[in-house]
Structure 1
Amino acid sequence: MSHAAQIKIPATYMRGGTSKGVFFRLQDLPESCQVPGAARDRLFMRVIGSPDPYSAQIDGMGGATSSTSKCVILSKSSQPDHDVDYLYGQVSIDKAFVDWSGNCGNLSTAAGAFALHAGLIDPARVPDNGVCVVRIWQANIQKTIIAHVPVSARQVQETGDFELDGVTFPAAEIVLEFLDPSDDGEEGGSMFPTGNLVDDLEVPGVGTLKATMISAGIPTVFVNAADIGYQGTELRDDINGDPAALARFEAIRVAGALRMGLIRTAAEAATRQHTPKVAFVANPKGYAASSGKAVQAGDVDLLVRALSMGKLHHAMMGTAAVAIGTAAAIPGTLVNLAAGGGERTAVRFGHPSGVLRVGAEATRIDGEWVVKKAIMSRSARVLMEGWVRVPGDAF
């Protein structure tokens, strides 16, 4: 019996923020995978090592968590006044699909750096030293992200002393600006799809919960930690080892997705695992982060825990951080109330790995809340570059 030989595809393995993914230039992909469709999805699943009934992704580049089961495509931008188009695929670990419904805020950091590494930026726009402003078109959600990437001798400066909770080693700081994050782009609707800052969300099998449902950065359903029996200080093992708890969170996510108009039937949620996110908030309390680091109540304005792809995230998704910062800036949301209420332009929130600061300014125009920009800092680093190999008949 003959078997297809492996082929190799140019690729770069990068950390961005608290995530990792396999990055490709569009032109380096096999021809059938340069366009959206089944071939591309099959290729990315095989690269990452999915679907894997063992949930380990041993035969691929994935790390068996939502933070490490990701692929990215970059190309020169087709949009005016942008440098690159950035397309993000969240690969399911144990099921055969790739979710294209949202962005990864952490890997947005790496997208800016990869654009320079891959030669996708006009050399005239790259300074000898200083900061290169990379204008990114986020193709999944049709939004603009500005990455301020430090450069030295016209190359990305990756080392530095910027520390990010959830990442072991320091690196160079990259500032991200998420422009007009007030809706998710895909739905094109209001920042608050229900029209309310707080809703009574009926969740089958759970009950009726107060919820803030917002589309900013990524569609997110916020609930109060106390209403679901938590403190807001929980770490991954407190929730991810509890199947009943994970089932409750999925029920909340499905109910929120229906209420936000993201899906028409509950069954559709199974193929849209990346969005919406579910997060729970609480007033400041002291706790020990997953590294053992002590987080004092005075270090934070509120506590937030969020789930991604059905599991509690080890830190915080970048896009969810945008949603947190945006909701915190709007008086009356659950996030804002957990932070003490009132008007604010930045918030420090505690997550399982430590503390993150995100800024956003909200204004009201014709009765609708609008946020023009959210800002946060991350870092990125190339971990490996060369070729990724897959069986030639994998796609």
Structure 2
Amino acid sequence: MSNPITPQQRIAAVYMRGGTSKGVFFRLDDLPAAAQVPGPARDALLMRVIGSPDPYGKQTDGMGGATSSTSKCVIISKASVPDHDVDYLYGQVSIDTAFVDWSGNCGNLSSAVGPFAISQGLIDPARLPKDGITTIRIWQKNIGKTILAHVPMRDGQVQELGDFELDGVTFPAAEIALEFLDPAEDAGEGGGGAMFPTGSLLETLDVPGIGTFNVTMINSGIPTVFLNAEALGLKGTELQADINNDPALLARFETIRAYAALRMGLIQSLDEAKTRQHTPKIAFVAPPQNYQASSGKHIAATDVDVLVRALSMGKLHHAMMATCAVAIATAASVPGTLVNLAAGGGPRDAVRFGHPSGTLRVGAKAEQRDGQWTVTKAIMSRSARILMEGWVRVPG
């Protein structure tokens, strides 16, 4: 006897681009009751929305785009903490395995949270200007941090179109400035609280069977481990195909990342790294040199302070994760880290780095307090746009 066919659930949703990422945005109240609280029901729903797990790695039967940048879900609700406008919860959905990683933030999609909140009526219309800039105060629930999104308004609506160009995004849009406040304190679930979780700016990491590496491990924006490109046999000018088409190299990166996670105190055993793919990030740096970005654009050594490539969910990112950009800017501002040394050394309060799609400038000012390094905020510009709005259909 065949099983009865249950109708699909119809759930209100908005598909948005934020920075160089895309995701499916939900209001918490619009989710089915079982998915309004953390747990297996929520994870199962979001995986089915995105089309995971997919052993083909394509997410054809869902909203995902088969990359780490496009396999994302966001849940927005009224703020649960004082002096904030909304809560922002982010889920990184694995493509080929059955889990959702809630251990960190997506800095790129942070730029879409303010516009979503305004368009969905979560912000009091009385405080929104007809024209100008409005500041949306966001509580990032994954990491317990405040993000300020400065959203442009025109004729009482979010201004989405403009002439701001962001490398990694083909079309220009309106600029949204983001401020990540106190990004170095407990930057991620189990982040440990310290900006440098082991107490060292530069240290040696032994990875059995692979080698010994000089590394900088930092909690800022998102937990990240930095290595020198040269130590990996790389140049720092690589594009996605150079890394992602080399399974042996990707396996090396994942092993190094797992040992770094263990050293940073993010996991208690190496096996835990398999279900904590979103954090920490692993990145490699090199001094400035000429290269050709993935769009064909020529990037001159004089255009950047340092070259950085970062992996997300086991693959080289096509541009740069915004949370990792915060880590880059923070590390660059602290004399003696690998990022700072690759950028020429010395103090700085901003860095322009080269990534596979072009360049990005991020500001961050670090200082020492009672012998501990900290950073009060990091600042960068992104853009966001609603791509589609309506309902997603999910098999019952």
Q: State the TM-score, normalizing by the size of structure 2.
A: 0.98
Shift of 1:124: 2.4
Partner secondary structure for residue 209 of structure 1: strand
Question: Gaps (5+ residues) in structure 2?
Answer: none
- CA distance in structure 1 between the partners assigned to 2:25 and 2:161 by the alignment: 20
Shift of 1:4: 1.0
User: Is residue 147 of structure 2 the alignment partner of residue 140 of structure 1?
Assistant: no
Partner secondary structure for residue 251 of structure 1: helix
**Which residue of structure 1 aligns with residue 335 of structure 2?**
331
Shift of 1:38: 0.4
> Runs of at least 4 residues of structure 1 off by over 4 A?
none
- Match for 1:81 among 69, 80, 83? 83
**Which residue of structure 1 aligns with residue 180 of structure 2?**
178
Q: Deviations over 1:176-227 (max 9, x none)?
A: 0000011215334210000000010111221110000000000000000000
User: Is residue 89 of structure 2 the alignment partner of residue 103 of structure 1?
Assistant: no
Q: Does the 8 Å CA contact 1:142/1:186 hold for their aligned counterparts?
A: no
**Which residue of structure 2 aligns with residue 157 of structure 1?**
159
- CA distance in structure 1 between the partners assigned to 2:20 and 2:367 by the alignment: 30
Q: Deviations over 1:142-201 (max 9, x none)?
A: 000000000112211000000000000000000000000112153342100000000101
Shift of 1:7: 1.4
1:336-375 → structure 2 map (5 Å cutoff): 336-375=340-379
Partner secondary structure for residue 22 of structure 1: strand
User: Is residue 321 of structure 2 the alignment partner of residue 317 of structure 1?
Assistant: yes
Aligned-CA RMSD value? 0.7
Q: Does the 8 Å CA contact 1:177/1:373 hold for their aligned counterparts?
A: yes
Shift of 1:12: 0.2
Q: Does the 8 Å CA contact 2:64/2:70 hold for their aligned counterparts?
A: yes
- CA distance in structure 2 between the partners assigned to 1:100 and 1:186 by the alignment: 8
**Which residue of structure 2 aligns with residue 116 of structure 1?**
118
Q: Does the 8 Å CA contact 2:188/2:223 hold for their aligned counterparts?
A: no
Shift of 1:118: 1.1
Closer, same or farther: CA 205–125 of 1 in aligned 2, 3 Å? farther
1:255-334 → structure 2 map (5 Å cutoff): 255-334=259-338
Partner secondary structure for residue 167 of structure 2: coil
- CA distance in structure 2 between the partners assigned to 1:288 and 1:185 by the alignment: 33
Q: State the TM-score, normalizing by the size of structure 1.
A: 0.98
Letter in 2 for 1:146: L
Q: How many residues align?
A: 392
Partner secondary structure for residue 249 of structure 2: helix
**Which residue of structure 1 aligns with residue 130 of structure 2?**
128
- CA distance in structure 2 between the partners assigned to 1:95 and 1:185 by the alignment: 22
**Which residue of structure 2 aligns with residue 234 of structure 1?**
238
User: Is residue 251 of structure 2 the alignment partner of residue 247 of structure 1?
Assistant: yes
User: Is residue 188 of structure 2 the alignment partner of residue 169 of structure 1?
Assistant: no
- CA distance in structure 1 between the partners assigned to 2:120 and 2:330 by the alignment: 32
- Match for 2:394 among 382, 390, 393? 390
**Which residue of structure 2 aligns with residue 198 of structure 1?**
202
